[in-house]
Structure 1
Amino acid sequence: MLTLIQYNDPGYLTKENLSPSEAATLVKEDFINWIDVEITSQTYVDDTAGLFNIHHLIAEDILNTDQLPKFELFDDHLFFSTKMLSFDADEDQIMEEHLSVVMCKSLVITFQEGLPGDAFNELRKRIQLSKGLIRKCKEDYLFYHILDAVVDHYLQIMETLRTRIEQLEARSLADPSYDVMQQVIEIKKDINILRKYTVPMRDALNEMRVEADHFIQKSSINYFQDVADHLLYLITSFETSREMLKDLMDLHRSNQNSEMNRVMKTLTVVSAIFIPLTFLAGVYGMNFRYMPELNSQWGYPLTIGAMVGVAMIMALYMRIKRWF
């Protein structure tokens, strides 16, 4: 499926469900043309690349959805690939979709894997309603907004993960017996996914800012710098979150050790109380003919009473010493 959005300061129009050949005939140089391609087959990509003079190496990169973010520069167009990420609350996991962007004069083409949804709903509304500078600027400003929308989703995911870490920390403090290890491992896995794409994307963006100066106007440099700053903030957040997770794991281990110490202290107190009782029972269980009070009718209750008295004295002594 292919969608074409065309706009300039006074005008806006959009057409959906186009073929590559239909889109190619509708492109106008006096408009900014955004072609959004949902990849359905290799032929679809090859046709689009052929109609818009996109280098065959780019077509190969578009179809290679396993690669990390990268930037490549050609004579009349530039290529940028990255990952769109979103957090699926129902599945409790990060969803990945490969995104490739080709930019040339008056034209931006985005290639998506074809998964449901994307990061550009707000951008489409801005174009339609002419919010901000979007309809007054060139194709590089649209390119900036596409990257910014992707990075904004990264930031949202990071904030979601930070909130989960804080909730786990509060839960651990409120309930020391609560087991957080499985959730900590899942959050670390999500953070690693974010980090996997954020660092290469920052490197590719910095490379593009240096090498693609004839594609990016001076007035737009600061906008791309803003995206780079967001990526740098994300990278810093990764380290902070990793420290928080490490502290959370240390807290969990400390809670486990405290619980173990409490159990061992209880067992030790019980054992200490029963040691003298076991001694008395052992003495009167010896098989000797002549023993004090052995033949007395009060021998048994006196012995039991002595045992109870010893147990109470020891329990009181341990209580005074604050051993339990």
Structure 2
Amino acid sequence: MTDLRKFARGGYATIYRATQISVDREVAIKVENRALGDDRDRARFLREARAASRMSSHPHVVDLFDVGVTADGHPYLIMELCDGSYANRGPLPAGQVRSVGIKIADALADAHAEQVLHRDVKPANILYSKFNEAVLADFGLAVLAEMRDPNVTLEVLTPAYAPPEMFRASRPSAAVDVYALCATLYAMLRGKPPRWDNDRNPSLLTIMDMFNQPIPDLPNVPGELTAVLRRGMANEPGSRPSAEQLRDMLYEVRLPSGGANPYPNPRPETHHAPQNRPPRQPGRVYHGDTYTPPRPPHGDPHPTVPNPGFRSWFRRLMGS
């Protein structure tokens, strides 16, 4: 790496901009401000971060190039450099928010199928570039929240986007990511998080009381879209849709014609799915309109390929 320069600094990490010499490209290096305690914590971070890095193959997850720990114990991630995040960008048009929601829900559905949770979905972790409208960042740092405080306190959480069970120190589940994404999308529509009146973090008692307040409709936002987000922010985790269901629910929301809507109704013929596509099968993960077959188990020497002739060629190439 060369040309290392500070790009941004937050409460838990500092982001640097650098040039990767081997391929002459600019990258972002995110370095955790706090050092890991011992070798066991370092090994755990590397194990979990590498597992989470599998998610970066999804088109709407930030490309993660490498992970590691500095000599003085600070975890770091090397990832693609994006133009910015959706923090403080609202209010945004309903069509744009819906499009972002479909993409990020699809990324979460893929992660949850791999038993990986994000645990910190928020506008600051949804990035964009000139090539991609929305990519989810920070899968590799999710485990650090647990390392800091296994009881999950306000210091660890992003309170504006955390569901009520996280304030009761409940074990994180996929429903946490669904709540956080819906709260994020609502904030992008409203310009501030749901139920919050300002940017200051209220007390724990105030936050718990907020969960009893209704989530109102928003001007110039279709009620159908708000209803989907409201369901995703249900106080009971079991009442929320899965990430896959949320993606499909957002897809089915009908928006008024015109405006920033990359998924107009009826569906444009430029999409990959046939005009009369079969119904989606439960349990399958779809990327946009394209079904991705289940991944083969780790260690399977014969991954699934669509063409039998190609399969034979691949096996000969691998010497099997």
TM-score band (shorter)? under 0.3
TM-score by length of 2: 0.28
Bigger Rg, which one:
1
TM-score by length of 1: 0.27
